[in-house]
Amino acid sequence: MGPLFNVDVIAEWLRSYGVWAILISLLINILISILGLVPTLFLSGANAVVFGFIPGFFLSLAGEALGAAVSFWLYRWGFGKQKKVKKENWKWLQRFNEAGRSRRAMILFIARLTPLIPSGVITFAAAISRMPFTDFFLITSLGKAPSIALETMVGHDLIRIGEYYPRLLISLFCLLLIYLLYRKKRI
């Protein structure tokens, strides 16, 4: 496993920056969000190792929320500049935009709770829709909290496997169960 996907290496690297590690973690989360498909599990785990489980969770949540916000605005701005793409040709987008505000919010919330949908895809879909930024930011922050808590715990427990292997096994079992249930529903 490369250093970019090694919680211990990332944690040591963050520690080397002292108090600046908080800002660096936030910036990395923003970059990951802009890229859209890179997993944050390793950074969330490193945050828990460096800052403690609860502060690491809140730092990861803040980083992901800020990253989603920046990505939302970049996608909205960039997509708005594209004259060749006609949003009217996308039926799913038309249906989403025609849904009421609370229905759009619920769709986004459920999408954020679903661990198998890449965050960048959800952010992109919201950015090209008529969803107000404030709705997007609030729902994203609330919807990502459970998955970030799980990521933080799994990442933390991977590095402290000797102490936390029972909890890690339970977490991994729950992830597998969610995956299997999700896959069964799709079949």
To which residue do tokens 């600046």 refer? 20
41 in Cβ contact with 128 (< 8 Å): no
Residue 56 has pLDDT above 60, yes or no: yes
Burial readout 147-172 (b: 16 or more C-beta within 10 A, e: otherwise): bbbbbbbbbbbbbbeeebeeebeebe
Is the CA virtual torsion 64, 67, 73, 75 positive or negative?
negative
Task: Look at residue 81 in the predicted model and tell me its pLDDT.
Answer: 59
Region of 109 please: left (phi>0), alpha (psi -120 to 50) or beta: alpha
Task: Look at residue 2 in the predicted model and tell me its pLDDT.
Answer: 53
Q: What is the mean pLDDT of the chain?
A: 82
Alpha-carbon gap, residue 131 to 165, rounded angstroms: 42
76 in Cβ contact with 128 (< 8 Å): yes
Domains of the chain, residue spans: 3-186
Task: Look at residue 153 in the predicted model and tell me its pLDDT.
Answer: 79
Of the ranges 56-60, 115-119, 144-148, the best mean pLDDT one: 56-60
pLDDT tens readout for residues 80-105: 656 555 556 678 877 888 888 888 89
pLDDT tens readout for residues 127-137: 988 899 999 99
pLDDT tens readout for residues 36-46: 777 787 888 88
Torsion from C-alpha of 5, 119, 139, 63, nearest 10 degrees: 30
Read off the pLDDT of each residue in 10-26 and give the average, rounded to a whole number. 92
Task: Look at residue 55 in the predicted model and tell me its pLDDT.
Answer: 94
Residue 58 has pLDDT above 90, yes or no: yes
